[in-house]
Amino acid sequence: MAELVDALDLGSSGLSREGSSPFARTSRAHTRYQGIGTQILAECIRGGTLNITSDVKDAKLTATVTIPAADVDAIIKKAYKAAAKQYRFPGFRAGKAPRPVIDSALGKDAVLAQATNELIGSNEGNVLNELDIVPVKEGDYQEIDLCADGTDYTYTVEFTLRPSAELSSYDAVEIEMPPAEVTEAEIDQQIDMLMGYHATFEDVERAVEGSDYVTVDIKNVANAEALAGEGRVIAMGAGHLPKEFDEGLLGMNVDETKTISWTPEVEGAEEASVEVTVKGVKERKLPELNDEFAKTNFGFDGVDAMRDAVKLEIESDKSSQLPQLKENRCVAKLAERLQLDEMDEDYEQSVFQELGQNFLQSLSARGMSLDGWLQANRISSEDFIADLHRQANDVARESLALDALARELKIEVSAEDVDGEFERAGIEDVEASKAQFVADGRMPAVRDSIRRSKAVDWLVENAKVTEVDEAARAAEAKAE
């Protein structure tokens, strides 16, 4: 049937040869899955003019959709009218050719293929909304037949859903948080950072230590092209390179050469290896902070005034950032309880694509290309993709953990909740926007977002928090 449509150039939306939906879904948000493991869930949903029955098994939802004959006839009539306007038929004005003439010239099946495609496409959003699902990839449309006048039209589509997982515990999480009040260690940490802008670097004749700045020549041995180069300066302990690289540099002397190897923490990654030659070692020296230095270089009356100003700045930062930090830590801690040995590949890929699209959009907003960003940060495309997959796996696990918590808490989403979501987004015509979301199949994602937000609210409200001066702890660890 697709071949007929394509051959007659009736448009690019013919029935798919591969059985997947010919219509791109508007939303690919990683939202909840309603399936119940291997148990088959049978349900009948009647909404609008659709009759939908569905079975869920092994994260696959198979829906059988029936469209009433009246709707089928209307779509067929529309398809013939469109064909009459699009093509010229000798002896008839544009749009006036009767069906027998169109059937003779184009072929009845070709027009019915267009009508069938329109039937499926125009109802796809409604199907997703009635089933209240957001598949992780396009639906697989099976056993597609042509529609016919005067009869109901029934088709079957299979959606791949993300897995349903449980938590090892549904109790409130326990997290550590910095105190709301500013500590002396936090002020010291911030001042040390400011003083770093005035640091000097002195050559030293000794082996590399953990806080040095080391000039090296790096030759790629295997799978480490992005690191290769001459005269590269490495800040020890900065965390920009694999820990095995820093550990390998420790204790090396000028003109010494060593091969350092490591395996990236990515599934299937191959071992990387470089040959490193130390060309120079510098020690970072900070100037003495006194009243004169504070006045000359920072514009304060003295050290005390500088510390007071830094304290106010940290207070402001904490006021705005601590709520989000608490939320992030609560969700991350909850994700540790997820009972899922291996992330579903399709779901991880859908999250990966969403994160990638968001990142590309942020670069575009800053007038940057991905290639330019990678070059500026000296990151290979392979390392970037590997890191994005790690992030996608983390986000996917957090999402599934929140879904499990929402199910346990039996969180529901009301019509008022949905309206509030649109209103908070600054939508002027809420009803019109909601109708468009339903038509596009995006309303389930909205409901799931609200459900997860409620789960996060419960998580944050009930979290058991231990306050820790993390700046002081970091300073102690550094001193050791």
Bridge partners of 285? 200
CB 273 within 8 A of CB 223: yes
Tell me what pLDDT residue 40 has: 25
Paired strand residues for 261: 273
pLDDT digits (tens, 9 = 90+) for 327-347: 999 999 999 999 998 899 999
Give the rounded percent of residues in the chain with a pLDDT score beyond 90.
Answer: 66
> Over the stretch 119-152, which tens digit does the pLDDT of each residue have?
999 899 999 999 999 899 889 998 789 999 999 9
| Maximum CA extent, the chain | 97
Residues 294-323: tens digit of each pLDDT: 999 999 999 999 999 999 999 999 999 999
pTM: 0.75
Query: What CA–CA distance (Å, rounded) separates 322 from 176?
Result: 12
- Integer angstrom CA distances of residue 438 from 162, 345, 453: 21, 28, 21
Mean pLDDT of the chain: 86
pLDDT mean over 229-233: 91
SS3 471: helix
